[in-house]
Chain A
Amino acid sequence: MCAARIRVNRGQSKLNGTGKTLMAGILDKERIVAPKNFNRWLIPPAALAIHLSIGQVYAFSVFNEPLTRIIGVTESAPQDWELTTLGWIFSIAIAVLGVTAAFGGRWLERVGPRKGMVIAAIAWAGGFLVSALGVWVHSIWLLYLGYGVFGGIGLGFAYISPVKTLIRWFPDRPGMATGMAIMGFGGGAMIGSPLAVNLMDFYSGPDSAGVAATFATMGVLYFILMIFGAAIVRVPHPEWQPAGYQPEQASTKKMQTSGHVHVDQALKTPQFWLVWAVLCLNVTAGIGVLGQASVMSQEMVGISAEAAAGFVGLMSIANMLGRFLWSSLSDYIGRKATYSTFFVLGIVLYAAVPSIASAGVIWLFVLSYLVILTMYGGGFATVPAYLRDLFGTAHVGAIHGRLLTAWSVAGVLGPVIINYLRDFQISQGVAPADAYSLTMYIMAGLLAVGLLCNLAIRGMQERHLMDERQLVTE
């Protein structure tokens, strides 16, 4: 009887402050307001479920080789797709992610995290299902539309949906909270890769490479996990605060704003563009190395292809752990100091790597790159808390969405710098082992620019803050 009464209470319409009746649907923000004594540690699993699912995007390359033998099955047939054709699937997904996060963030602010997560789940899982159909009928355009466009939309919404919610639940430790979620994005590839390989082994046979069935299965599994996240997510009660937390004390910190900046206004501040440059340069330095780690380690220190695969695996773990550890540390030492550490340490390590490689000290070479990768991941995970400090919480999700365009730019810039410079140097007669030295020094230079941008960031000026009237209408 009690449970029935609870259900009735939760299902009924409520009155808002103006006396207007609103019937909240199960996805609406109004329906997921937690009671005052809600345990906030129930929220990170919701965010992790979302990010673990979409982190699969970094493991998409496991499908590349099987997708080149859909018709030939055991080996590629003349009508089969080529790797260059398939490469566009991942590129489209990342590009659509950036666009969705940039333009969808404002809408997500209005509708709340649950609706955002459900839309993301439908788009992400739908992308897999459309791709399965694409493989089944052998249409590359369906893969571009499925994984590329629908999947990219799912990625964009899913990436930013839980971030603001976590920041609101953990105002005393926003770095740690967002680090937990964004760590999931790093960990998602580690799940997606073996899962896809095992499923393709299971479904493959004399007539099929097993890719279509694998796509369909993964779509269903990710849909379930993401809907689980959407079902358990809650937003804090307006009067809720963590025990012992005093917002007045927190806002007296030099870099922490006492108010909120509108997303449109944020783009007019130097702080936004400086943080944009900081993220872009930090990601550029890491992403190029990440993409070329296998070949680079074989050419620079002469390890075997198998050992290089192990090196790439360790880098993934470093990338994931860095997301949690650095962002948690930033709650204590501050975001500015954290990014300054990334840049100073990064400059030293990038500048030292060519000498370490030529000396043949493999363990130090590996250790240097692992530290670099922790800082690459840490850069992603610390930035939402940096934005919250500078711009307040009101529009932090939308501002974060716009900032992710820095990731898209870095995604192009990093690999281009590494690949182009390597090819150029080799064409000039430089030995492959030495071809990365110039690139490493250029990366160190980019990090030096990033350091200057970070040092130039100041606390938010009062004139950019929203007034009481704007806060009410927003």
Chain B
Amino acid sequence: MARNTDDPYAGQDAVDREASTLAGEEHVTSAQGRLVVLWAVVLIPLAYGVFNTIEKSLALF
């Protein structure tokens, strides 16, 4: 794989192309899985906070 040494990002392009080609479909599936996991890490605590707040807010009604 030819690398352009004038391009500081050439290495990462190469890495990405390589990873995409070698892993194929599996790469796409794992990327989707990663998306779900990353969002879950932040949305679960947020849901916990919102649930607690709504529970407290019921006193208003």
Name A's interface SS.
helix
Q: What are 10 A-B pairs with beta-carbon distances under 8 A?
A: A17-B8, A33-B9, A36-B16, A49-B42, A190-B53, A193-B49, A225-B41, A237-B9, A309-B59, A320-B50
Which chain B positions have C-beta within 8 A of A311? 57, 60
Do B19 and A45 touch across chains, with their CB atoms under 8 A apart? Answer: no
Closest B residue by C-beta to A45: B38
Contact present for A307 and B8 (CB under 8 Å): no
| Contact, CB under 8 Å: B38 / A42 | yes
CB-defined contacts of A317 to chain B, threshold 8 Å: 50, 53-54, 57
Task: Please name the residue on chain A nearest to B42 by beta carbon.
Answer: A48
Find the B residue at minimum CB distance from A239. Answer: B9
A372 adjacent to chain B (CB < 8 Å): no
Residues of chain A at the chain B interface (Cβ within 8 Å)? 2, 5-6, 9-10, 12, 14-17, 19, 22, 30, 33-39, 41-42, 45-46, 48-49, 52, 184, 187-194, 225, 228, 232, 237-238, 303, 306-307, 309-311, 313-314, 316-317, 320, 366
B53 to chain A, nearest CB (A): 4
Contacts of B60 in A (CB 8 A): 303, 307, 310-311, 313-314, 366
- List residues of chain A with CB within 8 A of the CB of B50: 187, 190, 317, 320
Cβ A10 vs Cβ B11 within 8 A: yes
Complex Cα distance A387/B58, Å?
39
CB-CB nearest 7 A-B residue pairs: A190-B49, A35-B16, A310-B60, A191-B49, A310-B59, A313-B57, A45-B38
Q: In the complex, which of the residues A5, A238, A313 contacts B9, with contact meaning CB atoms closer than 8 Å?
A: A238
The answer, yes or no, to whether B25 is at the interface (CB within 8 Å) is no
- The smallest C-beta distance from B47 to any residue of chain A, in angstroms, reads 10
A10 to B18, CA, bound (A): 12
CA distance A9 to B18 in the complex (A): 11
Measured CA separation A12–B48 after assembly (Å): 42
What distance in Å separates the Cβ of A112 from its nearest Cβ neighbour in chain B? 14
Q: How far is the CA of A6 from the CA of B46 in the complex (A)?
A: 35
| B35, A310: Cβ atoms closer than 8 Å | no
B2 within 8 A of A: no
Shortest beta-carbon distance from A259 to chain B in Å: 24
Residues of A within 8 A of B18 (CB): 2, 5-6
Contact B15 A35 (CB under 8 A): yes
Distance in angstroms between the alpha carbons of A39 and B10 in the assembled complex: 19
Which residues does chain A contribute within 8 Å of B6, judged by CB atoms?
15, 17, 19
Across the interface, which residues of B come within 8 angstroms of A191, CB to CB? 45-46, 48-49
Are B48 and A194 in contact, with the CB atoms below 8 A?
yes
Decide yes or no whether B12 CB sits under 8 A from chain A. Answer: yes
Least Cβ–Cβ distance between B49 and chain A, in angstroms: 3
